[in-house]
Amino acid sequence: MALIFNTVEFFNLYPASEFFTSLSWAPSFSGRGGSSELGLLPLLWGTLYISIVALIVAVPIGLFSAIYLSEYASSNVRSFAKPLLGILAGIPTIVYGLFALLTVGPLLVSVFGDGGWLGVSWQGGGRAVMTAGLVMGIMLIPFVSSLSDDIINAVPQSMRDGSYGLGATKSETIRQVVLPAALPGIAGAILLAASRAIGETMIVVLGAGAAARLSLNPFEAMTTVTAKIVSQLTGDSDFASPEALVAFALGMSLFVITLTLNVIALYIVRKYREQYD
């Protein structure tokens, strides 16, 4: 409720049309005044870009480990590898943030940066879309893997038997029967992971940088909705200024986006479960 109230107040001070369509984000630091440009799009772009990188990392690794664990691995391997991957899920995000800032960022710079191993100078600083995306991907691996594992296990054994009975190999069965059958559920799981990535804060605050820009270069620093919420509301700001109130509008947008994703994802997963119950 308070969120809505503050959001409404923000839109009283700042036109909504500009908030949703403006292509630039340039708050003035003077506090009050109409000189600030507070466009959502650059932030949303950064958020999406980082989330996409994260999913590109997490989905194949998570999905393949789920497939291996549920279809191939012996129970010994399973009881050993599953909790280990689970540890990745239990690590607080601040740890990943620090990991991005102090380990992965410098590492990427030493590969892609000026004078790096590849001899290219794509990356200027440790904070970049790539850094945050990669680390966020690592964080999401166990999330994707455990959800997909559940979903793959829900595919009835009779379906697999049918395929084996026709002389299909295990991988043919998985690729052509199990995965298509599990597809809706896996799509739901990926949506849930995406909503997590969009709402993730600490990794992007520490790993992605603070510059709001619309760019395609994954080695550039960009910023996200969550990172901007933090930067607008920490420090001694005046709660009545548009620069602070914009955070509530950002939070509201974030809430709406993730909620929509979650509702769709949970609906899909539920529907999928019912199908095989």
Site for other proteins in 163-192 (CB under 8 A): 163-172, 174-177, 180-181, 192
Within 20-152, strands assigned E span 25-26, 37-38
51, 123, 226, 241: which one binds other proteins (CB under 8 A): 226
Per-residue contact track with other proteins, 109 to 148, x per CB under 8 A? Answer: -----------------------------x--xx--x---
Least distance to other proteins from the beta carbon of 60, Å?
7
Closest CB to other proteins among residues 175, 271: 175
Least distance to other proteins from the beta carbon of 216, Å?
25
Residue 248 touches other proteins, criterion: CB under 8 A: yes
Is the separation of the CB atoms in 20 and 37 below 8 Å? no
Closest CB to other proteins among residues 129, 134: 134
Neighbours of 103 (CB within 10 A): 13
53, 54, 109, 160: which one binds other proteins (CB under 8 A): 160
Phi, psi of 126 (to 5 degrees): -65, -30
Within the chain, strands assigned E span 25-26, 37-38
Place of tokens 């990943």: 96
Least distance to other proteins from the beta carbon of 170, Å?
6
Least distance to other proteins from the beta carbon of 175, Å?
7
34, 158, 274, 277: which one binds other proteins (CB under 8 A): 158
Distance, in Å, from the CA atom of 259 to the CA atom of 253, rounded to the nearest integer, reads 10
Instruction: Please report the sign of the dihedral spanned by the C-alpha atoms of residue 98, residue 101, residue 106, residue 109.
Output: positive
Least distance to other proteins from the beta carbon of 213, Å?
21
53, 205, 208, 221: which one binds other proteins (CB under 8 A): 205
Distance, in Å, from the CA atom of 65 to the CA atom of 68, rounded to the nearest integer, reads 5
Residue type, 229: I
Distance, in Å, from the CA atom of 270 to the CA atom of 262, rounded to the nearest integer, reads 12
5, 12, 24, 33: which one binds other proteins (CB under 8 A): 5
Least distance to other proteins from the beta carbon of 94, Å?
4
Is the separation of the CB atoms in 204 and 132 below 8 Å? yes
27 Cβ contact list (under 8 Å, min separation 6): 36, 37, 38, 232, 243, 246
Place of tokens 């680390």: 135
Closest CB to other proteins among residues 24, 169: 169
Question: Interaction with other proteins in 57-86: which residues (CB under 8 A)?
Answer: 60-65, 67-69, 71-72, 74-75, 81, 84-85
Least distance to other proteins from the beta carbon of 221, Å?
15
